Amino acid sequence: MPSQPTTLLQGTLDLLILKSLATAELHGLGISRRIQQITGGTFVVKPGSLFPALHRMEEEGWTSSFWGDSENNRRAKYYRLTKAGRKQLETESKRWGRISLAIAQALETS
Amino acid sequence: MPFFPKAASFLRNLFLTRRVERDLDLEVRSHLQLLIDENRRAGMSPQEAQRAARMELGGAEQVKQQVREQRLGDSLHSWISDCRFGVRQLHKNPGFTLTVVLTLALSVGANTAIFSLVNALLLKSLPYPHPERMATIYTSIIGPSAASDERHNVNGEQWELLRDNVPALISAVSSVRPSGVNLKAGSHVEYVQDGRVSAHYFDVLGLHPVLGRNFSEDEDRPHGPKTVILSYSLWRNAFAADPGILGQTILLRSDPLTVVGVLPPGATTPLNADVYTSLQPSREGEGRGTNFRCVIRLRDGASWQEADAQINRAWLSRPGLYELAGNPGAKVSYHLVPLQKGQTDLLRPQVLALMVAAGLILLIACANLAGLTLVRMLRRTSEVATRLALGASGWQIQRQFWIENLLLALIGGVAGTAVGFLGLRSLLLLLPEHFLPVAGAPLDARVMSFTLTVSVLTSVLFGMLPALVARKVDLRSSMADRAVARAGSLRLRQSLLAGEVALSVVLLAGSGLLIRSLTHLETLPPGFNPNGVMVAKASLDDVRYHDPAAFRKLLDESTAAMREIPGVQNAAVGLNLPYEFVGNDYVMLSDGKEAGQQGGADWTYVTPGYFNTLQMPVLAGRVFTDADDLTSQHVAVVNQSFARKFYGGSNPVGRYIDKDLFNGRGILIVGEVADVPISSGLDPVAPLQTEQTMYIPATQVDGQLLALLHQWLQPDWIVRTTGPVDGLTAAMQRALNTADPNLPASGFYSMKDLLARTLATQRIEVALLGAMAALALLLSAVGIFALVANMVAQRTREIGIRMALGSTVGQVMLQIGRSGVNASLLGVVLGLVLSAGALRLMSSVIYGIGVYDVTTILVVVFTISAVTLLATTIPALRIASIDPARTLREE
């Protein structure tokens, strides 16, 4: 597992957070671990990047939060996608698809 | 983009800060706890688990700060906290804050007050429809012997030509100023101001009566129907807003007039009178002279060029160019002047000079404040360095200073507005009635925005300097090179001070010249004995006194009754007294080698006791007697200036003038008296001067002339007493009433009062510029004081060392005080150089002294030196209380 994760592209973190919340409501650490898991360990999101992003996205109205109990009965703040968040995930995914396709194309030609 | 959640977050972040913070704190803590749990599950020991978790979190406070920084409304938040910090800083330095706010309040206040005047006089448009289509007309005479470029109003002939031959204009004329007369309606008696106006006067102003109508052309003809229009306030107050007022008769000057109209509420006219009567202008009587004030309005569709051409055609063909009498080779020209400019022309230079003086005050205040904030900034170097070290950006630090300056500017601006309001009130109280051609000087939106701009600009000006210095602060220099920065800032502060002192010198010298000039005017040799004279004025603008016999009876009986008052030595009546404004006319010398010569002379009527009552020395011949009346030879007494001007100083007694008058009998000069200072209307070069004057017996003035004279001037009853007499004015009023029970005196004056009335403008100038100069001096003193006090505070340690090494207190005081003294000395020199140029502009308003008046300069230099000495010594005295042993231990 690379300890120094790849530098995140602008917007990538948002997309990853939205994606990780697409299937379940998670708390901060849960989101972090989920991202680690779905990217095969390529991205490790530190709290210093995670929390500002989470709060910003909540202010944007993409996520909402509530206090709940964790698996071992700890109080934790959970996040879930809102309707706007799901729409945002959709547009972001499409955009990302286009970008990665374009980048791949660009790398192939030469 | 969803708007609602954003707005909700914004408001929550702004107003529920504590809840948002607690939530964040809990979240970060719970995150840490979850990490610890995770590590424990992975088999770590409790200590290890905690250590690893903390490392992964990377500092709870940093994480929270990162969240805070991207919150909505974060920048607003930091502005608010900067403001809070600023307020705390200002609160912590009450001395600094108070000095700055007071300085701002005084300087901004002075500017607000003066600008209100400028606004009211020069900027606010006149309260008439389309003021740009309105104007007034002046004539001026330029010629070999016409000394002044004085402006004249128009005469009857010019008026008739203007009215009949200039179709491009609606023209109207009025009396030059309203006259005080007695109004009687039923049992109601009131002293009111009567403005006499021609037909179409209110049409030119665009005023329509709320009741009735304007004057008709028929009423405007000589001997036309006698009618009156009331102002709205008089109608309300004196007639209880009687809707049936039209057609009623009221008595004005004991003359019955029919009310034909009431003006709308709040209507202002250039005369601002209580009642308006028909002027009935003609070429006769007052129409012989330039006694009509003209207002005109351009007709719709006409242009100023057309109007100009038409006036040219009408006026230049005049047969009787009166202006050329006794002034051969002169040229007459006329000027169309926009109404506002025409009304304020005389005051404009004074008001603008005051505005400049107020601007100088502001500059001085700026220099002072820059010095103060600079010192404060330097004192805070360590604070700045600490904040820089903790990661604050240069911008954040700059912003803090700007916010503090703006806070000061706002507080100072509010205080300045209050000071300006009070200043303006007292200024308007100081002015005599009808001194300003406007009803008032309100603090309107324009004045308020001016004040705001000035205070913010001031704050920017004085805040700029410290902010620039702050930019240069870096960690290293702030720790090591404090002495260097200080030396540089000392020189900067000294130059600022020198500038302040220089401007103060200019203002002081200017007000000094005005004071010297006023003193000169007030101490002119009077030529009579002004002590023990009491004056009563009363309006004889009354049809009953158009009859010379009734007039003579009034004079004889009233003066006889006044002589009966115990303690009164003598009593007399004169149309004018010394110091007062005197009318004038042309005289023609009729005999000897001067025969045929013409010239202007002042002219007044007096009763026989006049010269004796005033104790005016009779130099030759005799004064008047009761035998001089309408049936006897017309006689005159002239003064010394008259004899000098017309007869080369030889004895004028026995000479004849105006031989063409009175069936060829002319006027015989029977006596010569000493000169007295008067307020001239003939050739004014100073507010008070001696001029060729002719005295005529009151009993030799015919009825027509009496009516004319009393329209303009109220005669004076004078008594001479040996000492103070109890109830003298009441006794004089009773004496007046024994001759006419319906004749109230309009006022009682001592000769000193009359002198003060004539010199009102000069007194106001002295008061205003004096106040400005005092303010400048005060600000400079504060500046010097602050500089030296600051030096003492900053260099306590150095002083301690010097004293420990054997310096005496005196030596150290000299050393420290020198900084203030040097700056002040440089300022004085600079100020004198500036004055040399600036004071020349004052030559037209000072009398009896030169612009480079040695006394004034010496007094100014002495005053500044004394103030400098005081302002450096007081703070330097603290040096005596410095204990070297203690200071050295403390540092």
Q: Is the pLDDT of residue B324 over 90?
A: no
Position B890 scores a pLDDT of 63
Give CA torsion, residues A33, A34, A38, A42, to 10 deg.
-30
pLDDT higher than threshold 80 for residue B408: yes
Say whether pLDDT at A1 is over 50.
no
- Give chain B's mean pLDDT: 84
pLDDT class of B558 with cuts at 50, 70, 90:
very high
Q: Which residues pair with B678 in a beta bridge?
A: B689
Model confidence at B93, pLDDT cuts 50, 70, 90, reads confident
What chain A residue is nearest to B20 in terms of C-alpha separation? Answer: A55
Minimal CA separation from A96 to chain B, in Å? 19
Residue B679: strand pairing partners: B581
d(CA B124, CA B133): 16
Q: What residues in A contact B34, CB-CB < 8 Å?
A: 27-29, 70, 74, 76
SS3 (DSSP) at B325: coil
| Nearest by CB: B63 against A27, A51, A76 | A51
pLDDT of B480 strictly over 50: no
pLDDT of residue B609: 92
Test mutation, A31, A51, A63, chain B, max B CBs within 10 A: A51
Whether residue B608 is predicted with pLDDT greater than 90 in this model: the reply is: yes
Report which listed range, A94-98, B491-495, B857-861, is most confident. B857-861
Q: Give the amino acid at B82.
A: D
Cβ pair B248, B258 in contact under 8 A: yes
B857: pLDDT strictly greater than 70: yes
* Positions of E strands within B90-175: 134-142, 169-175
Average pLDDT over residues B731-735: 91
Residues of A in contact with B2 (CB under 8 A): 60-61, 84
pLDDT value at residue B636: 94
pLDDT in tens, B493-517: 888 889 989 999 999 999 999 899 8
Contact across the interface for A61 and B37, Cβ inside 8 Å: no
Give residue B829's pLDDT.
93
Are B66 and A70 inside 8 Å of each other by CB?
no
Which residues does A contribute to its contact with B (CB < 8 Å)? Answer: 27-29, 46-48, 51-52, 55-56, 58-61, 70, 72, 74-77, 84
B70:A55 CB<8 A:
yes
pLDDT of residue B430: 76
Residue type at position B27: E
Residue B364 has pLDDT above 60, yes or no: yes
For residue B673, the model assigns a pLDDT of: 94
Q: Assess whether pLDDT exceeds 90 at residue B861.
A: yes
Whether the predicted pLDDT of B596 surpasses 50: yes
Residue B422 has pLDDT above 80, yes or no: yes
How confident is the model over B745-786, as pLDDT tens digits? Answer: 888 999 988 888 888 888 888 888 898 899 999 988 988 888
Can you give the pLDDT at residue A4?
A: 44
pLDDT by residue (tens digit) across A51-77? 888 888 888 889 988 998 887 788 889
* Beta carbons of B2 and A84 less than 8 Å apart: yes
Per-residue pLDDT at B867 exceeds 70: yes
Top-confidence residue, A30 or B437: A30
pLDDT (average), residues B381-395 = 74
Q: Which of A26-30, A95-99, B140-144, B801-805 has the lowest mean pLDDT?
A: B140-144
Q: Which domains does chain A have, with CATH numbers?
A: 12-108 (1.10.10.10)
Cβ neighbours of B27 in A, within 8 Å: 28, 51, 76-77
Name the residue in chain A with its Cα closest to that of B30.
A76
- pLDDT for the residue numbered B268: 81
State residue B474's pLDDT score. Answer: 54
Q: What is the pLDDT of residue B471?
A: 59
Q: Which of B25-39, B80-94, B143-157 has the lowest mean pLDDT?
A: B143-157
What is the token pair recorded at B206?
A: 């665009």
Q: B700 falls in which pLDDT band (50, 70, 90)?
A: very high
Task: Give the whole-angstrom CA distance, residue B724 versus residue B733.
Answer: 17
Interface probe, candidates B11, B22, B66, chain A, greatest A C-beta count within 10 A: B66
- Tally A–B CB contacts below 8 A: 72
What pLDDT, on a 0 to 100 scale, did the predictor assign at position B328? Answer: 62
SS3 labels along B160-224: HHHHHHCCCEEEEEEECCCEEEEEEECCEEEEEEEEEECCCHHHHHCCCCCEECCCCCCCCCCCC
Cβ separation of A47 and B57 shorter than 8 Å? yes
**Shortest CA gap B388–chain A (Å):** 23
Of B2, B31, B63, the CB nearest to A61: B2
- Structure token digits, residue B236: 């309300």
Task: Answer whether residue B483 shows pLDDT above 70.
Answer: no
Q: How confident is the model at residue A3 (pLDDT cuts 50, 70, 90)?
A: very low
Each residue of B566-583: pLDDT tens digit?
Answer: 999 999 999 999 998 888
Q: What is the pLDDT of residue B437?
A: 66
Confidence of residue B68 (pLDDT cuts 50, 70, 90): confident
Mean pLDDT across the stretch B239-243? Answer: 88
A75 vs B9: CB contact, 8 Å cut-off?
A: no
Q: Write the pLDDT tens digit of every residue in B620-659.
A: 999 999 999 888 999 999 999 999 999 988 899 999 998 8
Determine contact, residues A95/A51, Cβ cutoff 8 Å. no
Residue B697 confidence class, pLDDT cut points 50, 70, 90: very high
Query: Is the pLDDT at B479 greater than 70, yes or no?
Result: no
Tell me the angle at which helices B381-389 and B394-430 cross, rounded to the nearest 10 degrees: 140
Q: Which residue of B has its CA nearest to A48?
A: B63
